């Protein structure tokens, strides 16, 4: 049986946002559903990330800015991104959740899921945006490398492109960043022509998907694009930015994924981890604003990590087929699997 760790801390609920899509009920619903369904997981309480660990990704000036806003009672990093009195400590603990998840998969756990907030994949080195304060998965990736896992695959299936994660690793060939996202959509980045730069050219893989993409369409993108590239890259650890706003009921997205689809994607990335890096797989919570649907999606993913992978059938349609061919053509300059 696969051993799965669940990183959680009650301080995540103290990041107070008030009448905001990114609210604490996102986490309480997941934890209640995990308990109700009797999932075989071990809850692990993380430690907060240190400032030095956060500074592997973010400037100290920005870290100080977040702390100052929080200590002065709260404010905004941008029009969408709230900082409350406890947000700085919650954000340190969110990054700590990813760090603890990396440690877990190096010390007896096969998979780990960091159920954290605030989320992170929009957070840039010098600023927060899109509900995100510190880039949790990026901080976790650097921690993995510090622990000897040199090659990191980050898979991002949030409905929004992870512009922050892409920016951090855009010139870094040690981190392969793969993103599927609704396009056009916030934040406007993630074109298939964005492939990295310098030494990192070819190590950013964007698959912009049309609105309305469903389970079979998503799975086709992952089977046809991610799987061959990942097996060629051979990561030492697989990390997932697990956003659930591609769910068909999400109020901020326009996709048609179901819990079965999320489970299928989770099963596919687990198969990559099994083939490449002894099953080491870390997921972290990103977006997802339909409270009950997100809880169902997370449960499906956790079950898939443990081997209960749902079957998805159906076609993709001409528009998506054309898009996948475009991605393969662009990426054929960098990956032998498409040449």
Distance CA 111, CA 302 (A): 9
Q: Which region, left, alpha or beta, applies to residue 234 given φ > 0 means left and ψ of -120 to 50 means alpha?
A: left
Distance CA 182, CA 247 (A): 12
Number of structural domains found in the chain: 1
pLDDT-derived band at 319, boundaries 50, 70, 90: confident
Distance CA 263, CA 218 (A): 12
Token couple for 233? 């890259």
**Residues 6 or more apart from 299 whose CB is under 8 A from it?**
33, 34, 37, 39, 259
Are 264 and 223 a contacting pair, CB within 8 Å? Answer: no
Average pLDDT, the chain: 97
- State the pLDDT at residue 161: 98
* Residues making up the chain, counted from first to last: 339
Distance CA 287, CA 19 (A): 16
Are 171 and 198 a contacting pair, CB within 8 Å? Answer: yes
Query: Averaged over 26-40, what is the pLDDT?
Result: 97
Coil, helix or strand at residue 279: coil
- State the pLDDT at residue 277: 98
- State the pLDDT at residue 11: 98
Percent of the chain exceeding pLDDT 70 equals 100
- State the pLDDT at residue 314: 78
**Is residue 201 pLDDT above 80, yes or no?**
yes
DSSP state of 305: H
Active site positions, annotated: 122
Distance CA 86, CA 221 (A): 39
Are 107 and 44 a contacting pair, CB within 8 Å? Answer: no
Query: Averaged over 197-205, what is the pLDDT?
Result: 98
The values of phi and psi at residue 4, to 5°, are: -120, 130
What CATH number is associated with residue 269?
A: 3.40.800.20
Token couple for 206? 């964007």
Burial of 87 (0-12, 13-18, 19+ CB in 10 A): buried
Which helix (H) or strand (E) segment is 261 a member of? helix 259-276
Distances (CA, A) of 311 to 61, 245, 263, 315, 321: 48, 21, 9, 13, 20
- State the pLDDT at residue 43: 97
**Is residue 1 pLDDT above 80, yes or no?**
no
Distances (CA, A) of 241 to 69, 116, 336: 27, 11, 26
**Is residue 316 pLDDT above 90, yes or no?**
no
Distances (CA, A) of 293 to 3, 120, 127, 246, 324: 25, 21, 30, 11, 28
**Is residue 228 pLDDT above 80, yes or no?**
yes
The pTM of the full predicted model, rounded to 2 decimals, is 0.98
The range of the structural domain enclosing residue 39 comes to 4-338
Query: Averaged over 49-66, what is the pLDDT?
Result: 98
Q: What is the pLDDT of residues 249-260, one digit of tens each?
A: 999 999 999 999
Token couple for 134? 């510190």
- State the pLDDT at residue 27: 98
Least confidently predicted of 185-199, 228-242, 269-283, 302-316: 302-316
Coil, helix or strand at residue 320: helix
- On the CB side of 146, CA atoms within 13 Å amount to 12
């Amino acid at each position: 049986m696969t051993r799965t760790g669940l990183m959680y801390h009650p301080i995540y609920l103290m990041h107070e946002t008030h009448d905001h899509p990114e609210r604490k009920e996102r986490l309480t619903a997941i934890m209640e559903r995990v308990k109700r369904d009797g999932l075989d997981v071990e809850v692990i309480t993380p430690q907060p990330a240190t400032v030095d660990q956060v500074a592997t990704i973010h400037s100290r000036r920005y870290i100080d800015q977040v702390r100052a806003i929080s200590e002065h009672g709260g404010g905004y990093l941008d029009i969408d991104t709230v900082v409350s009195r406890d947000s700085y400590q919650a954000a340190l603990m969110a990054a700590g959740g990813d760090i603890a998840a990396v440690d877990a998969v190096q010390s007896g756990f096969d998979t780990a899921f960091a159920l954290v907030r605030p989320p992170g994949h929009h957070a840039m080195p010098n600023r927060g945006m899109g509900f995100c304060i510190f880039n949790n998965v990026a901080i976790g990736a650097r921690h993995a490398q510090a622990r000897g896992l040199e090659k990191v695959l980050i898979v991002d299936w949030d409905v929004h492109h992870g512009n922050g994660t892409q920016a951090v690793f855009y010139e870094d060939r040690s981190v392969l960043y793969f993103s599927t996202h609704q396009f056009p959509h916030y934040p406007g980045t993630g074109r298939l022509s964005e492939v990295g730069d310098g030494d990192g050219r070819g190590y950013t893989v964007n698959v912009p998907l049309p609105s309305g993409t469903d389970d079979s369409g998503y799975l086709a993108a992952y089977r046809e694009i991610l799987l061959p590239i990942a097996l060629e890259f051979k990561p030492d650890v697989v990390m997932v930015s697990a956003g659930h706003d591609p769910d068909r009921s999400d109020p901020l997205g326009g996709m048609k994924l179901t819990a079965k689809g999320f489970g299928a994607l989770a099963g596919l990335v687990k198969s990559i981890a099994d083939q490449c890096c002894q099953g080491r797989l870390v997921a972290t919570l990103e977006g997802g604003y339909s409270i009950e649907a997100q809880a169902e999606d997370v449960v499906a993913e956790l079950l898939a990590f443990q081997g209960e992978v749902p079957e998805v059938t159906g076609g993709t349609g001409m528009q998506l087929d054309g898009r996948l061919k475009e991605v393969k053509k662009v990426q054929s300059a960098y990956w032998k699997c498409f040449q």
